[in-house]
Amino acid sequence: MTLNQADIGLIGLAVMGQNLVLNMDDHGFTAAVHNRTVSKMESFLRGGASGTRVIGARTIGELVGALRKPRRVMMMVKAGAPVDELIGRLVPLLEPGDVLIDGGNSHFADTIRRAAHLEAKGLHYLGIGISGGEEGARHGPSIMPGGSPQAWEAVRPILQAIAARVPGEAGGEEPCCDWVGPDGAGHFVKTAHNGIEYGDMQLLGEAYHLMKEGLGLSPEAMSAVFAGWNKGRLNSFLVEITAQILAFRDEDGSPLVERILDAAGQKGTGRWAAASAQELGVPLTMVGEAVSARSLSMLKEERLAAAKVLRGPKPPPVDPPRNFLADLEAAVFAAKIISYAQGFMLLRAAAREYRWDLNYGRIAALWRGGCIIRSNFLQKIRYAYERTPDLANLLLAPYFQVHVEAAQTAWRRVVAAAAGRGIPVPAMSSALNFYDGYRRGWLPANLIQAQRDFFGAHTYERTDRPRGESFHTDWTGRGGTAASSTDPAQGGRL
Ligand code: NBP
């Protein structure tokens, strides 16, 4: 074992850890590695890492001893308790000024807690979101680092070297990796990314459903449609792989996709995005629908039983409109705009709540390469925020406003055709409902306030009085008090 020589230590040699280490090695960095099950590390050194400068460490102590100071240690282990356990073992071995990095999919609240705990001990802590799966980790992921600015400076050269690269503003290339904010900001941005990823995937699933059942297209024909979309404004990694998946044949030549069980799993980050949105009061409806659609899909046996009992429209009352495929492309595009608008609403709300000074244009730029939602579309979002950093909502930026408006007639036709045929399109229709709600100065929430005041004396504000004044009415005349009051004590009972 060579002492004080390695640039970085990495613990956790599963799929992500191994590929990140090889990526670091490609870029000239020396990594010392350790894995709890030491035999996995040994087989990595004999296999994928043979011929590289990677240094194996049989214990955590050995790994720490192999690092140059200030030490940089990256954890790539399963999120949750394993991270706390590992931190507990590392802390006694590290010194003030050393940098500990969690590159897993940790919950941002855990990262905030860990950062406070470790920074109090003089250690620096970074919680970084990494997207791109195995391929990204090996050849260039999108990296979303959060934590102390000093810690960021200490790891910037390594993380920016291994990140995906995309064409830069002023020519050349720029890395899809830049500091996003303090403590849990990086992991929060990764959660928002994953939520948006759920929405994008659900929209493509709904388009597939409409083409398959509404138009009766073969997987081959659908593959061609997605490949065509990928040449236009919907160009993205997910549309590209969808075209490839639909064209993929099983060993006997049949389309493999048709043999895959229709029960979609989830590891939790989409649910975290939806839950954070609920807590922050953000209408992140697309992610909510996408998470619920996966949950509904998991009820396979129940759905099979229900299919024998519950009937939909029969025969289909409407034919698909002419030019349905063009309508569908417009509907997917418009709904995608809504989904990203909601995702950035979530980021804005989190920035307010956790006091993060997030740079939305830069976040959009980080997602342009390496990650699952990478697309040209993100460049438009970047421009929108560069032009107006305090943009209240992406939908108000001219590019998005014009495109949603231009798509809306087709979008409405698609949602109506789906409803008429009994084909579920929860993401496309909830996006439309969001658009129709967000663009209205008045919503029927006055009735809801009246109901709340009726049964729970929750009070309401009036349109003919200044905001902040609370009123309560005795709706039945049996309450024994005046019909309306401005009792300030009641204002807090909401
Ligand atoms: P996994 O999430 O499957 O975790 C396996 C690794 O964690 C192994 O190295 C395992 O060691 C180690 N580990 C566990 Br489990 N408990 C431990 C403990 N108490 N102490 C020390 N090590 C422990 O690996 P992964 O799929 O490579 O992902 C790593 C992280 O990156 C996760 O947080 C994941 O959510 C995130 N992520 C994954 C992807 C992806 O595409 N897979 C993408 C982006 C982010 P062992 O070998 O001894 O069991």
Q: Is the CB of 269 under 6 A from ligand 1?
A: no
Tell me if 387 sits within 8 A of 400, measured CB to CB.
no
72: tokens are: 């940089």
Q: Is the CB of 76 under 6 A from ligand 1?
A: yes
Contacts with 438 (C-beta within 8 Å, 6 or more apart), sequence order: 393, 395
Q: Is the CB of 129 under 6 A from ligand 1?
A: no
Q: Is the CB of 133 under 6 A from ligand 1?
A: yes
Q: To test the ligand 1 pocket, which listed residue (33, 36, 43, 114) has its Cβ within 8 A of the most ligand atoms?
A: 36
Tell me how far apart the alpha carbons of residues 68 and 363 are, in angstroms, rounded to a whole number.
31
Secondary-structure percent of the chain, ordered helix, strand, coil, rounded to 5:
55, 10, 35
Instruction: Give pLDDT, residue 316.
Output: 66
Using a cut of 0.75, tell me whether the model's pTM lies above it: yes
Instruction: Give pLDDT, residue 317.
Output: 61
Q: Which of 229, 420, 408, 425 is nearest to 320 (CA)?
A: 420
Instruction: Give pLDDT, residue 490.
Output: 45
Told to judge if 300 belongs to the known catalytic residues of this protein, a careful annotator would answer no
The letter for the amino acid at 80 is: G
Told to judge if 42 belongs to the known catalytic residues of this protein, a careful annotator would answer no
371 alpha-carbon distance from chain centroid? 10
Tell me how far apart the alpha carbons of residues 275 and 108 are, in angstroms, rounded to a whole number.
12
Instruction: Give pLDDT, residue 318.
Output: 60
Our CA angle for 141, 26, 79, nearest 5°, is 40
Tell me how far apart the alpha carbons of residues 69 and 13 are, in angstroms, rounded to a whole number.
23
Catalytic-role residue among 197, 206, 289, 329: 197
Give the position, in ligand 1's atom list, of the atom nearest the Cα of 17.
Answer: 27
Name the residue with tokens 């050849």.
139
Q: Is the CB of 37 under 6 A from ligand 1?
A: yes
Tell me how far apart the alpha carbons of residues 457 and 435 are, in angstroms, rounded to a whole number.
32
Tell me how far apart the alpha carbons of residues 185 and 60 are, in angstroms, rounded to a whole number.
28
Q: Is the CB of 135 under 6 A from ligand 1?
A: no
Residue 52, judged by CB atoms within 10 A of its CB (0-12, 13-18, 19+), counts as middle
Three-state secondary-structure class, residue 174 = strand
Name the residue with tokens 């003030």.
96
Q: Cα(419) to centroid of ligand 1, in Å?
A: 42
Instruction: Give pLDDT, residue 314.
Output: 78
pLDDT (mean) for 470-475: 98
Q: Cα(5) to centroid of ligand 1, in Å?
A: 25
Tell me how far apart the alpha carbons of residues 51 and 44 are, in angstroms, rounded to a whole number.
11
Q: Is the CB of 191 under 6 A from ligand 1?
A: no
Question: Ligand 1: which residue has its CA nearest to atom 12?
Answer: 77
DSSP 468: T
pLDDT (mean) for 2-21: 93
Catalytic-role residue among 190, 212, 336, 380: 190
Tell me how far apart the alpha carbons of residues 404 and 318 are, in angstroms, rounded to a whole number.
25
Instruction: Give pLDDT, residue 171.
Output: 82
Reply yes or no on whether the pLDDT at 264 is more than 60.
yes
Q: Cα(363) to centroid of ligand 1, in Å?
A: 25
Dihedral of CA atoms 87, 93, 96, 99 in degrees, nearest 10, equals -50
Instruction: Give pLDDT, residue 1.
Output: 57
- Give pLDDT tens digits for 81-118: 999 999 999 999 999 999 999 999 999 999 999 999 99
Tell me how far apart the alpha carbons of residues 382 and 148 are, in angstroms, rounded to a whole number.
24
Q: Measured on CA atoms in the order 463, 466, 469, 471, is the torsion positive or negative? A: negative
Cα distances from 219 to residues 164, 254, 259, in angstroms, run: 32, 10, 12
Q: Which of 272, 325, 294, 268 is nearest to 205 (CA)?
A: 294
Three-state secondary-structure class, residue 333 = helix
309: tokens are: 């009992």
